[in-house]
Amino acid sequence: DIVMTQSPDSLAVSLGERATIKCRSSQSLTTSNNKNLLGWYQQKPGQPPKLLISWASTRESGVPDRFSGSGSGTDFTLTISSLQAEDVAVYYCQQDYTTPITFGPGTKVDIK
């Protein structure tokens, strides 16, 4: 199985400041046609996860442009460029390069 790790476990950022979350996979998620099969999700209490970014860097429709994803191979990053109050949530990375599909343990983002 591909193991997904995230760092940090939690972080607190001031409103308007940058938040950066790292995700690492135990093997490469890059396909032969150079696609990175990594997604980022946001989950707020009482709600299902919401897909923010697919293919490591493609923002889903309606997702604010303060969210961005980068990385390839085994190392990926989710950046919130200017944290807003509504961004308080747990963020997960997920690989669907192969089954079993696996998720990272999550990073809790709070306001400092």
Partner 1 sequence: QVQLQQSGPGLVKPSQTLSLTCAISGDSVSRNGAAWNWVRLSPSRGLEWLGRTYYRSKWNKDYAVSVRGRITINPDTSKNQVSLQLSSVTPEDTALYYCARGMVVAGFDYWGQGTLVTVSS
Interface positions with partner 1 (CB under 8 A)? 1, 35, 37, 39, 41, 48-51, 53-55, 60, 92, 94, 96-97, 99-106
Pick 8 or 105: Cβ nearer partner 1 = 105
Strands 10-13 and 107-111: parallel
Closest contact distance (angstroms) between CB of 80 and partner 1 is 18
Q: Per DSSP, which regions of the chain are E strands?
A: 4-7, 10-13, 19-25, 38-43, 50-54, 58-59, 67-72, 75-80, 89-95, 102-103, 107-111
Query: CB-side exposure of 74: number of CA atoms within 13 Å?
Result: 9
CB of 74 to partner 1, least distance (A): 17
CB of 74 or CB of 94, closer to partner 1: 94
Nearer to partner 1, 5 or 82 (CB): 5
We find the least distance from the C-beta atom of residue 51 to partner 1, in angstroms, to be 5
